[in-house]
Amino acid sequence: MVAFVSDAETGLRAIIAIHALRFGKALGGVRFYDYKNEGEALTDVLRLSRAMTLKAAINNIPLGGGKAVILGNSADYEGAEREALLKAFAKHLNTLNGEYYAAEDVGTTVADLSVMFEESPYVAGLPEHIEVIKRHDARWGSGDPSPVTAQGVFYGILECLHRLYPNKKLSEHTFYVEGAGNTGYRLARFLHQAGAGHLYVADINPHAIAMCLDEFRGKVTRVSTDEGREREVTVYAPCALGNVVNDDTIPKFNCKIIAGSANNQLGELRHGDLLHERGILYAPDHIINSGGLLNVANEIESKGHYDRPDVFRKLLNIRSTLGRVFDRSAGENRSPARIAEEIALRILELECEFKETRRRVW
C-alpha cells in the first residue's frame, strides 16, 4: 500500500508505504528528508519499507514492514510550524486503522513523536515514561532506540571478530566508524570502553568529531570518508548513509569486516557477493542493526508496559542469528548477504502458506 499524503494548510507532502502485514502491523520510521523530487522519495520509501519487512522476519519480530517519508528539509521546520506539519501527518495515520505505526528515523526525533502522539495512537518509540497524553491511554515509551541499536551492532562486531580471529584480543584490532551520530558515536564508545585498538572516525558534523576526539583522546584519529574506507583496518562500521558498498567503493576497501548500523549498506544484493569474493566478511545490516526495531516492537507488543530487560535479553540473539548466517555462508560458499535475504524471504513465504492453510481449514 502506498499513500501519498498532503495538507494544503501546512504544506505537508509525505508518502507512507506498507510493504507487508504478514507478520503483524507494519512499523517503520518517518524520514524527514529533502528529496530532489517525488520519484526519489518514492524509491526510498519503497526500499526502506521492504527492508523493514526483511528485518522483522529474520529477527523473529512479530511486525510487518512499513516506512514513511516527509518531503522537505527537516532543519527548516521549527516551533509551531513543525508541530502543525507533524500533527497534520499524524492525522493521516488514523486513516490507516492502525496498520502502520510511525517511529523515529533520519530527520525526526523522539520529541517529534510525542507531538504526533497527540493526534494519533499509531506512533511508537515515544519518550520514556510518557503517561496519559491527552486523548490516549497511558503508555510507557521505549525512548531513543539508538543506544539499543549501537549495543546490538557492538555484539554483531564481536561475532564477526570471533569468526575471523578467535584468538585475538579487541585491543589488537583497529576500527573505522563512519558517522559519529546517535548510533556511531555510541558504538565508538562501546568499542573504546571494551579496550579496542585505534579508532578512526569520519563525520561531516564538526561537533560529532569534537566529541569523539575529546572522549577517546589518544585512541582516535579523524579521517575523511575516503581515507576511512581506504585505510587498512579490521572493521569498517558504516553508521551514516546507505549505499556505501557499491561498484566504486568495493575495490578500495582495505578492511576485513564490514559491520555497522546504517540501513541499506549494499547498493544491490550482488555487492554482498562481491564482498564475499574479496574475502571481506559482511554482517547483513538488517540483522546487525535490528536492536532499534526490537526496542520499539516491545513498546507496541507490551501495550504500554515496555520491558527493557526483555529487550536486552533478546538483543543477544543478534550474535546467534549472525552466527547461523555465517555458518551457512561458509558451508555453501555463498555471501552472508544473499543467505540472509533468502532466509528472510523464505520465512515470509512459509508464513503466507501457513496463513493460507489456516484460512482453508477454518
Where in the sequence numbering do the catalytic residues fall? 67
* Residues 35, 41: Cα–Cα separation, whole Å: 6
Q: Kindly provide the residue ranges of all beta strands, DSSP E only, lying in the chain, ordered along the sequence.
A: 2-7, 12-20, 26-33, 64-71, 100-104, 175-178, 199-202, 220-222, 233-238, 255-258, 281-282
User: What x/- string results for residues 257 through 276 when contact with ligand NAD is judged by CB under 6 A?
Assistant: ----xxx-------------
Minimum CB distance to ligand NAD smaller for 88 or for 337? 337
Please identify, among the stretches 6-14, 17-25, 36-44, 199-207, the one whose residues bind ligand NAD according to the rule CB under 6 A.
199-207
- Please pick, from the candidates 42, 46, 84, 106, the single residue that binds ligand NAD as defined by CB under 6 A: 106
Please identify, among the stretches 67-75, 127-135, 164-172, 181-189, the one whose residues bind ligand NAD according to the rule CB under 6 A.
181-189
* Residues 334, 290: Cα–Cα separation, whole Å: 23
Using rule CB under 6 A, residue 292 touches ligand NAD: yes
222: helix, strand or coil = strand
C-alpha cell recorded at residue 236 = 569498517
Share of the chain residues as helix, strand and coil, in percent rounded to the nearest 5: 50, 20, 35
Please identify, among the stretches 108-116, 145-153, 317-325, 340-348, the one whose residues bind ligand NAD according to the rule CB under 6 A.
145-153
Using rule CB under 6 A, residue 88 touches ligand NAD: no
Could you tell me the smallest distance in angstroms from the CB atom of residue 27 to ligand NAD?
A: 12
**What amino acid is encoded at 283 in this protein?**
A
Using rule CB under 6 A, residue 28 touches ligand NAD: no
Ordered DSSP codes for 297-351: HHHHHTTT---HHHHHHHHTHHHHHHHHHHHHHHHHT--HHHHHHHHHHHHHHHH
* Residues 101, 68: Cα–Cα separation, whole Å: 10
C-alpha cell recorded at residue 182 = 546517535
Using rule CB under 6 A, residue 179 touches ligand NAD: yes
Residues between 202 and 221 with contacts to ligand NAD, criterion CB under 6 A:
202-205, 208
Using rule CB under 6 A, residue 298 touches ligand NAD: no
Minimum CB distance to ligand NAD smaller for 208 or for 297? 208
Minimum CB distance to ligand NAD smaller for 112 or for 203? 203
Question: Which residues sit at the interface with ligand NAD, rule CB under 6 A?
Answer: 106, 145-146, 149, 178-184, 202-205, 208, 225, 239-242, 261-263, 289, 292
